[in-house]
Structure 1
Amino acid sequence: MCGITGFWNPSRTNERELRFALDQMLDVLDHRGPDERGSRLYVDQGLALGHTRLSIIGLDHGHQPIEAGQGDYAVTVNGELYGYKRVRTKLACESLACDGKSDSAITLPLYRKHGLSFVDKLRGEFAIVLYDHREQRLVLIRDRFGIKPLYFAVNDSGIVWGSEVKSILKHPDIQPKLCPKAAVHQMMQVMVPGSTAFEGVQALKPGHMLVVQMRDGRLETNMTRWWDLEFPTSHDPNPDPDEYVQGVKERLIDAVATRLEADVPVGCYLSGGIDSCSILGLATTLQQSPVKAFTIAFDSDEYDESNIAKLMAERTGAEQELLLLTEKELYGPAFERATWHAERTFYNTLAVAKWHMSRRVRACNYKAVVTGEGSDELFGGYPFFKRDWLGREGEGGIFAGAILAEEDLQHPAWQDLCGFTPSWIQPWMMTLERVKPLLSSDIQDLLQEYDPVAEVAAAIDPDQVRQRHRLDISQYTWAKTQLEGQILTWGGDRMDMANSMEARPAFLDHHVAEYAVTIPPEVRIRDGIEKWVLREAMVQVLPRELYEREKFAFMAPPAHTDPVKRNAIQEMIDHWLTDDRVKSVDILDASRLRGFIDQAWQETDGTVARRNDIVMNHALQLHMLHGQYVEGLPLPVVD
């Protein structure tokens, strides 16, 4: 697990300038790879490859960039490539040697044998930048779900890339500036796939590769999709549930076993949910020694599920590390640091909690954990999936106003795309309507011609939703937007790697995923029970209390739930949302924002109060991002 960055500017061929620019870009990625730093310059081409290393596999043999053919090929890899020993052995039998014994070493021999289709041979979570000097070709590749990040910026000078946007913004050709359209999307929580908070900087979409080719002295780019989560147009009308239960069990055992392989200890994240408890249960059986489990606890019974996690830890004999978080940890300096690492806004301080947890993991001398992300996406775990297929039933509680809309909404772009407006986007449509009156005049003028809800729909491939079941459509559209845009970024990689810690989401193994999409909807959700097929596959692993439990929202307590938390966020508001700063950033109207905040603290309806908290979080972080990246303000120190 590492950080990668670099650039290709054909007109820049001064070695000192190349080195100076690359060093600055690597400096801001130290947290992703504190163990080692490497670089490779192709001075005559104006190309630079950089790498910061977090050593987990091949501790003494993993230096990057990796080269082959006397510099004809070079590659940098961020992530984990599983099954690499078998691949390496097979390559050796074909006289294709790997340079070193790290998992990343298989990339160049596979590329030299298979060309660009080599990516189909890879299993794991990864971002890869490969340079073929013979072909004058640069290739940027991102894994199937976007577990590992990769960003790029293309302009008249060339291309710049990095594992995080902050490294791109350090390049002399890139001017840090917040994108007004992206600001609106952040206020409503849903980004357009492939976009970032910053003008001119794009995210390489999951399952995509960008090929940059030198032709007649100019760089040409071509984007292609090499993998997608593809649901079938029809399902087995008479499914045998037991067959699918067994199929899920076998593939998940293999995925967890694969992710326990490392040259350092591997722990598990453990909440009170089915997903992480399943992972811990399987890991306990697969490991020879007790597993270390890391759990977040909150000081609110309504949001805390650590009691279930404790029960699971006791059942498996895991050594549990429990981290209790209060307003002191969730707001203030840690909130600001989490925002800097996220590079976008987040609606709930769960991101801050995850930042604290990864710090605790490293303090316990662990570099890697197996996690449960992706299960809800594959097996229909979220309440909005059930609503889209089965309608409203037994809803409410802390979901309302956060991930479920209290009204049924429609949008023409989504109606045209899906035949219905997915329930997952409806609460964010309501958030957008709450935000619109608070926007500055310039942004309101922008929205006269720009429809952010329609823009998200336009980024979805219509061929992947046509003739699909409603549940499949709901799961697919969520996976293409919120899974990558929030769960795997500010809820995953960005907070984990902030403290040099690698997360391995076993459910997002592509063998598990490609099987999961074939499971008929009535087996995924059976008799109204979400993730039924997973529950049955893990029935011998899960405590009875968890097996019978409905989906629980893993969120941190919002500010309105506690006067102490309210005071903590108000301190940040007083610092970051002054009239002068709000006017300078020019996304929100200062007087209307001030009135909204005053009114928000008087709100007694829990659903509306949750939505108000979301708006305040986003407003705060937009101004933090401007301060941190555009103004260059220093980051606070966290005790």
Structure 2
Amino acid sequence: MCGIIAVYHTEAASFPSADRLCSLLRTSLNSIEHRGPDASGVFTTPDACLGLGHVRLSIIDLETGNQPLSDEDDLIHCVVAGEIYEYAQIRAELEAKGSVFKTKSDSELVVQLYKHHGLNLLPSLRGEFAFVLYDSKRRLLFAARDRFGIKPLYYTVSDERILIGSEIKAFLPLGWKAQWDIDSIVHNGDFSDDRTVFKGVRMLMAGHFLLFRPTGYIKIQPYWDLSYRAMNVPHPSATVEQMIETVRKHIFRAIELRLRSDVPIGMYLSGGINSSAIAGMALKLLKEKDPNAKLATFTLAFPHAGSHDEGPIANRTSAFIGAETHMVHVTEADLVGVFERAVWHAEQPIFTFHAAGKLILSQFVHNKGYKVVLSGEGADEFFGGYAWFPLDYLRGPDPAGRALGLNLPSDAERQEILTQIQLAAVPQLSLSRNSYTDAVLGRQMLGGISTHRAYIAAGFAGAEVYTSAVLAVAGELDGTLAIADGIDARVRESAVHGEWHPLDVASYVTAKTILLQVILNNFGERVEMANSVEGRPPFLDHHLVEYINMLPPSVKVRPVQGDSPGVWSFTDKWILRQAVKPYITEEVFLRKKLSYNAPPMRRQEGDTNPVPLQAHLKARITRAKVQALGFFNWEHIEGLLKAYLETPEFPEHGGLDPTAQMLLYVLSFVVIQERFEVPTWIN
């Protein structure tokens, strides 16, 4: 999977010597050694205007795949992180055209494809990747990130040079100094757009590439994006059964590609349909090649969490498919103990235990000798799996679904059901705190959907958290509007004019926020790679997603008519359930989607002793530490801390007390300031 760093000086810069640049690059690589403990390498130009560095986690071509890579003429140099699939076929095609490969690595495709296609190489790449390539003849630096942003890539311009890396911490040894980006912090830039909490540091967005020239010119451009069928355009003449079979074939192909490895592969397994389907189908593919094949599954279990513990159902699923089961039992004390390490690796604020849980799980995977795991991320976003998606499904008719002969609510029934749902509480996302009358502009900009409003209601900081001096600089805080501002103008236009179904708009927004910035970053790739483990999510194969996005909304969120007139229920991920039914238990097939939680410990009635999280927050969130940040309102934070210590809540859905979530958010900034040595923000 690997980690990369690149430095390119402008013509106006003073270059270090080649030896000095090599030394700086190696120090930088040391800071991200967890991403690639198996090997490292650097390349510099003779004049030291450019340097590339790479740390390697050996998965494909264990013997000759070290980087940086170069072409046979030593004119093209490249560092690549991630995995590129179907490389054997592409390699054979390139060799037939005269390409000469130095290794058997999938990563070397980037070099040779660039020689044949230039910037047009990107459509040929299937997988999760980030790379930086230097063309010495054109003096051009070219960087790109995969379509979904599975692999991270950051950049900043500092001291007349561009720095590009897998993680921001890799910039520190190169002389970059961290400062707070107060506007990004207040307006959730690390969730809503391409910003981070650090001034001048940007993430290269999913499906984008970057060009940099020694004059200082930077160009950033998309090469791929999610798209959906126009709402009034019927689906091609496929039956529902044919759609199900095509989805199944796409999933099998995506899994098959991701089972390619020269090291053992494991599987994350929860109690839900996403990971259960991947595990069952992966084992089927493995057994077709070897009847004695085994698949190791890894599950987080929370024995103290009662009905919120997914360990038992995951255990039954693992037994059903005949997998080798590994159950990792975790307590609140365990989660608290690694939370700050998770923040350091995520490099952004965190307000749940999800990242801490994945950090513990991936550590266990690593300790068992596994470098690669398959996971279920991506299904909920594109198959309609979240509990709040029915709201936006109901906001528009589905002519394509009706043309298939599906029994759907009438327009009047849709409006009545929508009204009732909007008044109901959906505790997993705190929709009871949502409003359907505020954030008017932010919702109108995306065609009236409420999905992004719900995300803001779920736990993002309000204006009361910040000092008046901060708000005077950053302006009015409207999280829903900030998300809408960050969405591509093409999508906003499609939403406003009703070209895309509201469910598709909600899916797009979720993919660009929750999936990209949270799931794939702070409790996905970053905490897995902290333990030198590569995660591969088959549901984020772009061929699969492109097909799903063209399907009628009603085969994703499927209405089911009740016994009484006007009474409907909704089956989430209906077509996924049908496609994977032969490979999962009936229990999982029928189970409704539940929000994943790493549950806190419940204090026994009458017990006044602090639980581990209370004790940790009390010790770490102090007046001195909060005021050293420079932007939080200590009086408000102190009130939150007092409330959580004296009267903690234990929500029925098994998640954290909302007050504890906000305190973890504050603690994240304390950790980031300490680890990155960020000075106090001063107006």
TM-score class, shorter-chain normalisation, is over 0.9
**Mapping of 1:560-599 within 5 angstroms?**
567-599=611-643
2:239 partner letter: D
* Alpha-carbon contact 1:183-1:622 (below 8 Å) kept: no
**Structure with greater Cα Rg:** 2
Query: Is the 8 Å Cα contact of residues 442 and 482 (structure 2) preserved in structure 1?
Result: no
Q: For residues 223 and 509 of structure 1, what CA distance do their matches in structure 2 show? A: 23
Task: Identify the residue that residue 546 of structure 1 maps to in structure 2.
Answer: 588
Q: Secondary structure at the match of 1:425?
A: helix
Q: Deviations over 1:213-237 (max 9, x none)?
A: 23xxx12111110000111223426
Give the alignment of 1:49-448 within 5 angstroms: 49-155=52-158, 157-172=160-175, 174-185=176-187, 191-214=191-214, 218-234=215-231, 235-236=233-234, 240-287=239-286, 288=290, 289-298=293-302, 299-332=304-337, 334-390=338-394, 391=418, 393=421, 396=425, 398-401=427-430, 405-429=433-457, 431-432=459-460, 435-448=462-475
SS across alignment from 1:369? strand
- Could you list the per-position Cα deviations for residues 170-223 of structure 1 after superposition, in whole angstroms to 9, with x for gaps in the alignment? 321x2112222333345xx97222111211110000000001123xxx121111
Q: Is the 8 A contact 2:6 2:132 kept in 1?
A: no
Does the CA-based 8 Å contact 1:40-1:48 persist in structure 2? yes
Structure 1 residues 126 and 604: CA distance shift in structure 2, 3 A:
closer
Q: Is residue 429–residue 453 contact of structure 1 (8 Å, CA) maintained in 2?
A: no
Provide closer, same or farther for how the CA distance between residues 166 and 133 of structure 1 changes in structure 2, counting only shifts above 3 A: same
- Whole-Å separation in 2 of the counterparts to 1:301 and 1:46: 59
Identify the residue that residue 636 of structure 1 maps to in structure 2.
none
Q: Which moved more, 1:259-268 or 1:392-401?
A: 392-401
**Per the alignment, do residues 246 and 405 of structure 1 end up closer, same or farther by CA in structure 2, a change over 3 Å counting?**
farther
CA contact (8 A) 1:152 1:168 kept: no
- The percentage of aligned residue pairs carrying the same residue is 32
- Aligned position for 2:400: none
Is the CA contact 1:435–1:615 (under 8 Å) kept in the aligned structure 2?
no
Q: Secondary structure, in 3 states, of the residue corresponding to 1:344?
A: coil
Q: 1:319-357 CA deviation, whole Å, 9 max, x = no partner?
A: 01100110121003x111111111011221011010011
- Preserved CA contact (<8 Å) 2:487 2:509: yes
1:124 Cα deviation (Å)?
A: 0.4
Q: Deviations over 1:244-295 (max 9, x none)?
A: 1111000000000110010001111100110000000011111131100000
Q: Within 1, Cα distance between the matches of 2:36 and 2:608? A: 37
SS at match of 2:132: strand
| 2:482 aligned partner | 455
Tell me, what secondary structure is at the counterpart of 1:244?
helix
- State whether structure 2 residue 655 is matched by structure 1 residue 626: no
1:9 aligns to what?
9
Deviation of 1:595 (Å): 1.3
Deviation at 1:406, TM superposition (A): 4.7
Of 47-56 and 17-26, the range deviating more from structure 2 = 17-26
Query: 1:579-628: CA deviations, max 9, x gaps?
Result: 11111111212222111221244255848973212211101111111111
Q: CA 1:481/1:497 → structure 2, altered by over 3 Å: closer, same or farther?
A: same
- 1:611 maps to which residue? 658
CA distance in 2, matches of 1:258, 1:623: 41
Do the aligned partners of 2:352 and 2:656 also contact (CA within 8 Å) in 1?
A: no
Please give the TM-score of this superposition, normalised by the length of structure 1.
0.93
Separation in 1, partners of 2:83, 2:145: 12
Structure 1 regions of 5+ residues with no counterpart?
Answer: 633-639
Counterpart in the other structure of 2:408? none
Contact kept? 2:209, 2:222, Cα under 8 Å:
yes
State the shift of 1:119 in Å.
0.9
Please give the per-residue CA displacement for 1:157-178, whole angstroms capped at 9, x wherever unaligned: 1200110111123321x21122
Counterpart code for 2:676: Y
1-structure distance, mates of 2:451, 2:622 = 35
CA distance in 2, matches of 1:346, 1:236: 42
Count of residue pairs brought into register by the alignment: 623
Structure 1 pair 568–301 and aligned structure 2 pair: CA distance change class (3 A)? same
In structure 2, what is the Cα distance between the partners aligned to 1:103 and 1:246? 30
Task: State the SS of the aligned residue for 2:191.
Answer: coil
Q: What is the SS of the residue equivalent to 2:270?
A: coil
Q: 1:152 to 1:439 in 2, by over 3 A?
A: same
Distance across 2 between alignment mates of 1:232 and 1:373: 23
1:493 aligns with 2:525: yes
- Does the CA-based 8 Å contact 1:560-1:610 persist in structure 2? no
Would the aligned equivalents of 2:70 and 2:77 in 1 still touch at CA under 8 Å?
yes
Report the secondary structure of 2:255's partner residue: helix
Superposition TM-score, scaled by structure 2 size: 0.87
Give the ranges of 4+ consecutive aligned residues of structure 1 lying more than 6 Å apart after TM superposition: 559-565
The secondary structure found in structure 2 opposite 1:300 is helix
Tell me, yes or no, if the aligned pair for 2:18 and 2:48 is still in contact at 8 Å: no
Please, which moves more after superposition, 122-131 or 448-457?
448-457
Shift of 1:110: 0.7
